[in-house]
Structure 1
Amino acid sequence: MSSPHHPGNHPDTSLDCPGALIAALPAVLGFIPVASLVLVTAADGELGAVLRGDLSEQSPQRLRELADLAAASGAEIAIAVVVDGEGAGCPSCVDEHRGLTRTLSVELSRRGVELAAAHVVSEVAAGARWYCVDGCGRSGLVDDPTASPTALAAVLDGRRLYARREDLVEVVATRDPARTALLETVIGSARPPERVRPDSAARRDIEHALACARRNDAGEALTDADLGRLAWALTDTRVRDTLYALAVGDGAGPAESLWAELSRTLPEPWRVEALVLLAFSAYARGDGPLAGISLDAALRGAPHRMAAMLDQALQAGMRPEQIRELATTGYRLAKQLGVQLPARRMFGRRAG
């Protein structure tokens, strides 16, 4: 089961209009789902976490896990969408879909969540026909995913939508294995920072990270020396915790681009800290798909307290504005260290 996604600042999608709900899925997930089981949760009339898994992997155990995630998000109701290339035109597939959603409904009910509806569609595309899984006779056409209010809001928020989940994964995948292997040697042979470092050393490392973000944003390639210094700097909790604050500052864009570059370039275990910084930045601006992909990669690399906490928050459907409050610690640390961070941005909810 992939990490839950949350609509963030995007407009709430009508839960009683299947064509619009299905059309909104690519914008919420960050990619167009295929061969998938998608579960859309809601509470108090508002869209909550959106959960997706590969259709071929939906065993009874996986469905129990899916129901656990839905319940943990505080869901009251849920709507299932089965995306299957066979659609409703395959008799054996229809039986499989009904059995799948029946089991899911039972597991959700045991956890106090009602499966309000289940739809099947061959593809998430404009004009594709959806049907109700239980054979109720209802059907309709999917709205244009590129013109949905959720998609438009995502674009205005600066999010990129991907055709495939694999394309989203590539955002944090190691880009040049040969260079990463070389960096592992360079970083590993470098002298690690002393365990007890003066505040002035942490301050210089933060200022170096800020400078690297500006240079990277301007298209200047970072040197191996830059990357090595950043890798070791992120092992200092004062440096790392201060840099989380950049996610809510005026320099959030360049900082996030730097974390993405480090995620694609640094070797393990140094890469993990960059992935968590990227996840925090993406989550803070409402990009649940990128946050989830980054956290998946980080947690596969090594145990990490911040990664685990963010992953739990994402699964619970915690909203971006709540996550942003964690950046306050970074600003407080920056003040103690004598570092001038970019001014904090004002976030507001878009009308509509």
Structure 2
Amino acid sequence: MATSTRPESPLDRPGALIAAIPAVLGFVPEKSLVLVTAADGEMGAVLRADLDGRLDESLSCLAELAASSGAETAIAVIVDAEGAGCRVCAEERRDLVGWLATELASQGVELTSSHVVAEVAAGAGWYCGDGCGRTGVVDDPAASPIAVAAVLDGRRLYDRRSELVDVVAPADEAHSAALKHLIEQSAVITERTDAIARADIEHALACAERLEGGRPLTDDQTARLALALSDGRVRDTLYALAVGDHAGAAEALWADLSRRLPEPWRVEALVLLAFSAYARGDGPLAGISLDAALRCRSDHKMAGMLDQALRSGLRPERIRELARTGYRLAGQLGVQLPPRRSFGQRAG
């Protein structure tokens, strides 16, 4: 799930709306039901479900999420290459649209239109999902104003959802197992003083700089980071890096740790990555990271809060306010963090 903050809205132009979907989701959907919500005439949360999944549960969940995001209306886009020209398939899709409309209506959201397309690609034909007879072609997704804005913001767009998932997927299970042994050996029982927390934060800053310079982290450095993130003072301070001048370097560090660390230490890196992505408006990466974090630990408070905020369409600027706590903690510990940057420009 992702949210669009761009003022231009293609809601009344199906070809433009379908073309904008990859930029909002972060990937090109296949075999998917995409629900574009709106309120006050502006695009809101964009939700997706697999057509191959349990549709009864998916439709109910989509309707609840749409309502919680404050949606007044919604537009459905069915992306399915199978069954093109199949009369029975067309009837099944009309049934699906009717079912979705009923679920949305039960949540106070009106389904205003629906479109079916075999693929989200320039020139692909779309037709009305409820049998109204309207047809047209999809605009060029690469030329969508939302796609252009996403690229200018530094977001990468993926051809498939699986490529986005790979950003946080464990890279080497054997190496992660070796790291687990090292982390457990390093976890000597000691008093976690403010001085130790301060040193660990400074170590994290140095590791981000090292990684940004093209030098991979050693296993000892990685093990120390894993243990440091288990300290609430360290972890909560490091959330502030998402709004600092070197946010990009910090996010790269969290992504690296997400792929390399074993459970249970991996979860904190995933949540830091999700927070960083969310703060800069990258809902797709934030969502993928939170899904992985909640699979590691379903009761993680910060992950649960961010997941709920993302699903309800809370704007990134509201999430950035949480970073103030990190700067306050840094001041209490005597740590100098990178200065806050002005959003609207890319992080360094």
Q: Normalising by structure 2, report the TM-score.
A: 0.97
3-state SS, counterpart of residue 2 of structure 2: coil
Aligned to 1:298: 293
1:279 aligns with 2:304: no
Aligned-pair CA distance for 1:198: 1.6
Q: Structure 2 residue aligned with 1:235, among 230, 238, 253?
A: 230
Aligned to 1:56: 52
Contact kept in structure 1, 2:77 and 2:114, CA below 8 Å: yes
The CA deviation string for residues 122-157 of structure 1, in whole angstroms up to 9 with x for no partner, is 100000011001111111110000010000000011
Q: Distance in 2 between matches of 1:270 and 1:294?
A: 14
| Amino acid in the other structure paired with 1:208 | H
State how many pairs are aligned: 345
Structure 1 stretches of 4+ with a deviation exceeding 6 A read none
84-93 vs 102-111, which moves further: 84-93
3-state SS, counterpart of residue 57 of structure 1: coil
Q: Distance in 2 between matches of 1:159 and 1:134?
A: 34
RMSD: 1.3
Contact kept in structure 1, 2:153 and 2:345, CA below 8 Å: no
1:137 aligns with 2:133: yes
Change over 3 Å in CA distance of 1:189–1:301 after alignment to 2: same
Contact kept in structure 2, 1:250 and 1:342, CA below 8 Å: yes
Q: Distance in 2 between matches of 1:243 and 1:57?
A: 37
Aligned to 1:6: 3
Q: Distance in 2 between matches of 1:341 and 1:117?
A: 49
The CA deviation string for residues 91-122 of structure 1, in whole angstroms up to 9 with x for no partner, is 11111111111011001001100001010001
3-state SS, counterpart of residue 340 of structure 2: coil
Aligned to 1:27: 23
Aligned to 1:309: 305
The CA deviation string for residues 243-293 of structure 1, in whole angstroms up to 9 with x for no partner, is 000000001000000000000000000000000000000000000000000
Aligned to 1:69: 65
Q: Distance in 2 between matches of 1:42 and 1:101?
A: 17
Q: Structure 1 residue aligned with 2:106, among 90, 104, 110?
A: 110
Q: Distance in 1 between matches of 2:188 and 2:49?
A: 41
Aligned-pair CA distance for 1:348: 3.9
3-state SS, counterpart of residue 164 of structure 2: helix
Q: Structure 2 residue aligned with 1:165, among 158, 161, 164?
A: 161
Q: Distance in 2 between matches of 1:341 and 1:121?
A: 48
1:257 aligns with 2:230: no
The CA deviation string for residues 196-244 of structure 1, in whole angstroms up to 9 with x for no partner, is 4221110000000000000001110111110000000000000000000
Q: Distance in 2 between matches of 1:172 and 1:178?
A: 16
Aligned-pair CA distance for 1:191: 2.5
Contact kept in structure 2, 1:11 and 1:150, CA below 8 Å: no
3-state SS, counterpart of residue 201 of structure 2: helix
Q: Distance in 1 between matches of 2:135 and 2:279?
A: 37
Aligned to 2:92: 96
Contact kept in structure 2, 1:87 and 1:121, CA below 8 Å: no
| Amino acid in the other structure paired with 1:203 | R
Q: Distance in 1 between matches of 2:189 and 2:343?
A: 37
Change over 3 Å in CA distance of 1:189–1:54 after alignment to 2: same
Q: Distance in 2 between matches of 1:111 and 1:75?
A: 10
Give the unaligned 5+ runs of structure 1: none
Aligned to 2:12: 16
Q: Distance in 1 between matches of 2:143 and 2:181?
A: 48
| Amino acid in the other structure paired with 1:325 | E
Aligned-pair CA distance for 1:41: 0.5
Change over 3 Å in CA distance of 1:158–1:346 after alignment to 2: same
| Amino acid in the other structure paired with 2:40 | D
Contact kept in structure 2, 1:5 and 1:29, CA below 8 Å: yes
Q: Distance in 2 between matches of 1:282 and 1:221?
A: 22
Q: Structure 2 residue aligned with 1:341, among 323, 337, 341?
A: 337
The CA deviation string for residues 69-99 of structure 1, in whole angstroms up to 9 with x for no partner, is 1111111000000001036511111111111
| Amino acid in the other structure paired with 2:243 | V
3-state SS, counterpart of residue 116 of structure 1: strand
The CA deviation string for residues 148-186 of structure 1, in whole angstroms up to 9 with x for no partner, is 000000001100000010000000001111111110111
| Amino acid in the other structure paired with 1:280 | F
Aligned to 1:123: 119
Aligned to 1:189: 185
3-state SS, counterpart of residue 27 of structure 2: coil
